[in-house]
Amino acid sequence: MTTVPSSSIAPPPSARSSPATWIRKNFFSNWFNTLLTLLILAGLLWWASGFLNWAFTQARWDVIPKNMALFFAGRYPAAQRWRIWILFAIVLAVAGLTWGTLVRNTPKLLTRNVLTWVGVAAAITILLPVPTQTHIILLALEALLLATAWIGHRVGYKIPNLVNWLPLIWGITYVLTLWLLAGGFGLRPVSTNDWGGLALTLFMAVSSIVLCFPAGVLLALGRRSDLPMIRGICTAFIELVRGVPLIAWLFIGKFIFPDFLPIGSPTPNNLLRAIVVLAMFSAAYLAENIRGGLQSIPRGQTEAAQALGLNPLLTTILIILPQALKISIPAIVGQFISLFQDTTLLYIVDVQELLGMANAVLANPEFLGRRGEVYLFIGIIYWVCCYAMSVGSRRLEQQMNTSR
């Protein structure tokens, strides 16, 4: 029998086609495909022409720069808004460090796609109708993001264990954020009633995520527990929370929960009640996502761990749970994005987050009828934040090789 050396076996040549060939193959392959493509293009052109006509001839964009401070910081005292800028700088610095660390094994950080997006972000920043000082600050923040990403890429390559310290770094960042917003310990205290805008939206979302993730993991493990009492309590909690709309839970937290407290006891802060409701609601859904990951782990994994002498607790913590969380990353990030978007419902319980501040701006007689400009602006902000989370999720999946 003739043996062919493995080194002489080469993969088949890849068939590359020009852009024109690819477009003809995918959009104009037959008469039906061609008709469908032309109809869709006509609809998109009709919509784009109407939008551009409105954006450049009818829209009055001065509502955005005049209320930029309200959109980003709410009614936070003007003399203390430097804290908000420092807060954004810290968060972007840690985000850049995380980005660079997660892609530390890639040979080049600033790829063509990354540079394209950086250029688009810089162009949008320059075109924003804000004072020159704000332009400089925003461009400096983008430069800070890239600089910390470069540092994370270089340091993460030399010190691979740096990625294990990222949760601690984000925990310290959260404490610093809370200190900068609330004051104390040398800073002037600022009431939570003055918090608002994008800063409050991010704070509410991050706080809820920090609380709901461990709660969701415990609920998922509890629902699969062999102890009937634990399994019953976890199942009842998940089914009860999922069976009631989030808006109803927000009203319960604001208006009914204080009636359950003993007479004379202090009522928890409105923001704290909103965070607990958001975390509780998301934890119920997150538990089901993680339970799906737990069920996908073959029973042989547990039997192998037991054969090695691990007890059930160590088997769950060291063997089963890491694999289940790795499998559940897309669903978990999807739940976090949903939670971030759910913060828009908080304005109906008097929490002046980004949408609440937008409605407050529209209630000003000077800006009546500017709904299109304002809602389009905050919609872009929400999209940028959600897309950044989605990109981070994909990077994390690539780092953990979840496709294997």
The C-alpha atoms of residue 81 and residue 86 are separated, in whole angstroms, by: 9
Neighbours of 401 (CB within 10 A): 8
Q: What is the pLDDT of residue 237?
A: 94
Q: What is the pLDDT of residues 352-396, one digit of tens each?
A: 889 999 999 999 888 888 899 999 999 999 998 888 888 877 777
- Of residues 252 and 125, the one with the higher pLDDT is 252
Q: Which amino acid is at 172?
A: I
Q: What is the pLDDT of residue 48?
A: 93
Alpha helices in 128-190 (DSSP H): 132-158, 166-182
Neighbours of 93 (CB within 10 A): 20
Per cent of the chain over pLDDT 90 is 24
Q: What is the CA radius of gyration of the chain?
A: 26
Averaged pLDDT for residues 283-292: 92
Q: Using the 8-state DSSP alphabet, how is residue 262 labeled?
A: P
The C-alpha atoms of residue 323 and residue 296 are separated, in whole angstroms, by: 9
Closest CA to 231 of 240, 244, 218: 218
Residue 14 has pLDDT above 80, yes or no: no
Residue 1 has pLDDT above 50, yes or no: no
Q: What is the pLDDT of residue 309?
A: 85
Q: What is the pLDDT of residues 321-343, one digit of tens each?
A: 988 888 888 888 888 889 999 99
Strands, E, within 170-309: which ranges?
none
The C-alpha atoms of residue 65 and residue 121 are separated, in whole angstroms, by: 18
The C-alpha atoms of residue 261 and residue 228 are separated, in whole angstroms, by: 30
Written as six digits, the tokens of 198 are 């994008």
Q: Is residue 213 helix, strand or coil? A: helix
What residues pair up with 353 in beta bridges, in sequence order? Answer: 197
Q: What is the pLDDT of residues 65-115, one digit of tens each?
A: 888 888 888 888 888 888 888 988 998 899 888 888 887 877 777 778 788
Residue 2 has pLDDT above 70, yes or no: no
The DSSP code sequence of 207-244 is HHHHHHHHHHHHHHHHHT-S-HHHHHHHHHHHHHHHTS
